[in-house]
Amino acid sequence: MPTNYDPIAALYQLSKQQPWRRHIEAFSFLDLIGDVTGKSVLDVACGEGFYTRMIRQRGAAKVTGVDLSAGMIELARKQEADHQLGIEYQIADALKLSLPAEYDLVIAAYLLNYARDRAELRAMCDGIARSLKPGGRFVTVNTNPAIDFPTLPSYRKYGFEASASGDWREGSPIKWKFYLGDRTFEIENYYLDIAAHEEALTAAGFRNIRWHGPRLSPEGKAEYGDEFWSMLMTQCPVTFLECTRM
Ligand SMILES: C[S@@+](CC[C@H](N)C(=O)[O-])C[C@H]1O[C@@H](n2cnc3c(N)ncnc32)[C@H](O)[C@@H]1O
């Protein structure tokens, strides 16, 4: 079953404080997104607005966040009410996205890995493409389809584990367990290979599809050292991707 984020919204938000999130995930993702000054940006699967707020604070002119989870959107709206940035949040299913083609940039952190098959992946990519102006970019961070999840090492020292059991094939579930002090939570997403992603993106009208490995922030390197990060940098279970809508 796809993960229901409503009951784990607050814990998921807390997991964003883990050092690897800041020093690898956010550092690499924001670097790839680049300058957003004056741009209109849509964050699909925005969750509680972790990246949505950052993009607005970095100078985007208009920012919209959408997510399937009412619990996540409630958390995002609460933060917007507490510290108004002018972000609009909506509950929406990325499988049926129908927003006007008015965005310069669409971002998505961990959306495509919720597609259970090629048809769902295509539906997500179509909806994203429909929201973009011609020439607009899509930038995402996602579960890494180049990694063999059944044989992964332990990432416990970074505060999570990722695993898969049974046959490793299209649609196989990938389980993630996060450790936050004495609390844990689990999520599940799905495996589709690189070709499936490129096929869906191309069919949706995207070109210049480029995959990127993780980058480590200079602060993360200075604080923890290369040795600490080496496993995550060489066998990274998340990946980064950019493409352009024709
Ligand atoms: C791992 S969380 C990431 C949240 C946020 N992007 C972040 O990085 O903090 C994945 C999010 O995808 C959302 N999601 C999953 N399937 C979705 C769908 N079909 N449409 C919209 N959001 C979806 C979940 O509700 C959840 O908030």
The CB of 185 under 6 Å from ligand 1? The reply is no
In a domain, residue 52? The reply is yes
90 band by pLDDT with thresholds 50, 70 and 90: very high
CATH of the domain at 61: 3.40.50.150
Q: Which residues contact 151 (CB under 8 A, 6 or more apart)?
A: none
Question: Can you list the alpha helix ranges (DSSP code H) found in 5-117?
Answer: 9-15, 19-20, 27-33, 50-57, 70-82
Question: Residue 75 has what pLDDT?
Answer: 96
DSSP string, 176-240: EEEEETTEEEEEEEE---HHHHHHHHHHTTEEEEEEE-----HHHHHHH-HHHHHHHHHS-SEEE
Tens of pLDDT along 27-86? 999 999 999 999 999 999 999 999 999 999 999 999 999 999 999 999 999 999 999 999
1 inside domain: no
Name the closest-CA residue to atom 8, ligand 1: 109
Predicted local distance difference test score (pLDDT) of residue 206: 98
45 lines ligand 1 (CB under 6 A): yes
Q: Is residue 41 lining ligand 1, measured as CB closer than 6 Å?
A: no
Is 166 among the domain residues? no
For residue 133, being part of any structural domain is answered with: yes
- pLDDT tens digits along 180-237: 999 999 999 999 999 999 999 999 999 999 999 999 999 999 999 999 999 999 999 9
pLDDT at position 1: 63
Which ligand 1 atom lies nearest to the CA of residue 4?
A: 25
CA of 47 to the centre of ligand 1 (A): 5
Residue 42: φ, ψ to 5°: -110, 130
In a domain? residue 98 = yes
Q: How many A from CA of 94 to the centre of ligand 1?
A: 9
Burial class (CB in 10 A: 0-12, 13-18, 19+), 38: exposed
| Cβ 104 vs Cβ 62: under 8 Å | no
Q: How many domains does the chain have?
A: 1
Whether the CB of 211 sits within 6 Å of ligand 1: no
Give the ligand 1 atom nearest the CA of 69.
25
Which domain, by its residues, includes 21? 6-144+192-245
User: pTM to 2 decimals?
Assistant: 0.98
pLDDT confidence of residue 132: 98
Task: Please check the confidence at residue 2 and state whether its pLDDT lies above 80.
Answer: no
CB 109 near ligand 1, within 6 Å: yes
